[in-house]
């Protein structure tokens, strides 16, 4: 059997946990009913499973089950939040604030709205990847209807101060949306204490299935209005039509429950492995850590290696480790990372970045092997460039 590389691209996607798969399997064949078919047993079984999953996901973020809207993933949830708010509140204002380091699933809908006459403020970040809260507050205007700030960055893992952002937004009566695709199950999320009005989530970053996500939409204090972007059937209170995919929904809830159950111990384990990897790599000169050193996801390590081409480094690492240079959603492009450019990096340094995404199924032995191979590869590439 051929050797497979060590998987350290867990921000792109994760291997499904066997416990999640076990929870899903009965809903493919035995309990296969449509949860909207409430006139017979098959539909009742599916409806009950969806209801239980909805409750689990709501409890995970301290919401109510009626505030959970199922989508096909975080990309759709982001589009529904941003475009849905823009359409529902355009009479109040046409100004939206977001951040330069957001995922393209936020940036692209915002750019689309610009073409329709909305004005978008793209806030800069500080060199550590965090936003300046005073700049956020100054950017809010009487016609601002929405602020969208990512909870955890998908490239550099930086955790934005959600509670402080939520406080500012609510003081100015502006809605606050956060893309928490990378954060759910990895940090504590509380929509009440953080004053979050809309939150996008997905399952496949936490060992759940691909193709299922959630948009949390606040119903009280304030009651948030969004215009549906998919019509037909009136599912999900008319906000997102389409037959609910029961196995995926069950899997999402199981993945979140497991992640929260193991959050503290897993965070500590990932931190230890990440520290070991960084301590090993940082012994080489001209290696830079991208993003805040501590206010970041425990499994994220994003580095830039001066004097080494990032593509060549990934190719050199490939037989031993599977990593990426940044967002999996834009990895096919040749442009340098917009996130690293926003940190103030030069294009050459941005091109030399590597993102290590450590996860549940990695071991310290694997990390040691990766560290040794990465050091040897970097030294070899630098030696070759001199020659």
Write out the catalytic residue numbers: 329
Tokens in use for 367? 């990390």
Residues in contact with 300: Cβ distance below 8 Å, sequence separation at least 6, in sequence order: 11, 156, 157, 274, 291, 355, 356, 357, 358
| Angstrom distance (rounded) from CA 351 to CA 336 | 5
Kindly report the number of other CB atoms within 10 A of residue 189's CB atom: 23
| Angstrom distance (rounded) from CA 281 to CA 375 | 6
Shortest CA distance to 182 belongs to which of 203, 196, 161? 203
Alpha helices (runs of H) in the chain, residue ranges in sequence order: 18-24, 26-29, 41-60, 74-89, 104-115, 133-139, 162-171, 246-261, 263-281, 310-317, 338-342, 347-351, 364-386
Shortest CA distance to 179 belongs to which of 306, 42, 75? 75
**Cβ(251)–Cβ(23) below 8 Å:** yes
Residues in contact with 152: Cβ distance below 8 Å, sequence separation at least 6, in sequence order: 158, 159, 160, 180, 182, 183, 186, 187, 296, 297
**Cβ(278)–Cβ(305) below 8 Å:** no
| Angstrom distance (rounded) from CA 50 to CA 72 | 15
- HEC string for 172-224: CCCEEEEECCCCECCECCCCCCCCCCEEEEECCCCCCCCCCEEEEECCCCCCC
From residue 200, give the alpha-carbon distance in Å to each of 170, 190, 223, 379.
Answer: 19, 13, 17, 41
Q: What's the chain's length in residues?
A: 387
Residue with tokens 């978008």: 120
């Amino acid at each position: 059997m051929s050797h497979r590389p060590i998987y350290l691209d867990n921000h792109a996607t994760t291997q499904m946990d066997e416990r999640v798969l076990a929870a899903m399997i009965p809903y493919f064949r035995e309990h296969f009913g449509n949860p909207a078919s409430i006139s017979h047993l098959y539909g009742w079984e599916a409806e009950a499973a969806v209801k239980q999953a909805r409750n689990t996901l709501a409890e995970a973020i301290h919401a109510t089950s009626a505030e959970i809207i199922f989508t096909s993933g975080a990309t759709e949830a982001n589009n529904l939040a941003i475009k849905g708010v823009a359409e529902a509140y355009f009479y109040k204002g046409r100004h939206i604030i977001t951040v330069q380091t957001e995922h393209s699933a936020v940036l692209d809908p915002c750019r689309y709205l610009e073409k329709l006459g909305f004005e978008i403020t793209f806030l800069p970040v500080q060199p550590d990847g965090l936003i300046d809260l005073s700049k956020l507050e100054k950017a809010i205007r009487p016609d601002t209807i929405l602020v969208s700030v990512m909870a955890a960055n998908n490239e550099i893992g930086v955790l934005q101060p959600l509670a402080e952002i939520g406080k500012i937004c609510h003081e100015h009566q502006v809605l606050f949306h956060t893309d928490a695709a990378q954060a759910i199950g990895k940090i504590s999320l509380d929509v009440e204490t953080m004053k979050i009005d809309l939150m996008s989530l997905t399952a496949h970053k936490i060992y759940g299935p691909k193709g299922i996500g959630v948009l949390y939409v606040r119903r009280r204090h304030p009651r948030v209005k969004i215009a549906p972007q998919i019509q037909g059937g009136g599912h999900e209170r008319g906000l997102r039509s389409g037959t609910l995919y029961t196995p995926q929904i069950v899997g999402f809830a199981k993945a979140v429950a497991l992640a929260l159950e193991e959050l503290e111990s897993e965070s500590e384990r990932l931190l230890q492995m990440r520290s070991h990897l960084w301590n090993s790599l940082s012994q080489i000169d001209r290696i830079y850590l991208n993003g805040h050193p501590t206010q970041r996801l425990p499994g994220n390590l994003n580095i830039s290696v001066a004097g080494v081409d990032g593509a060549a480094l990934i190719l050199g690492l490939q037989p031993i480790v599977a990593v990426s240079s940044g967002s999996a959603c834009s990895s096919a492009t040749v442009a340098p990372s917009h996130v690293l450019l926003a940190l103030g990096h030069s294009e050459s340094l941005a091109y030399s970045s590597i993102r290590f995404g450590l996860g549940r199924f990695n071991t310290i032995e694997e990390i040691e092997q990766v560290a040794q191979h990465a050091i040897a590869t970097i030294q070899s590439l630098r030696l070759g460039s001199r020659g």
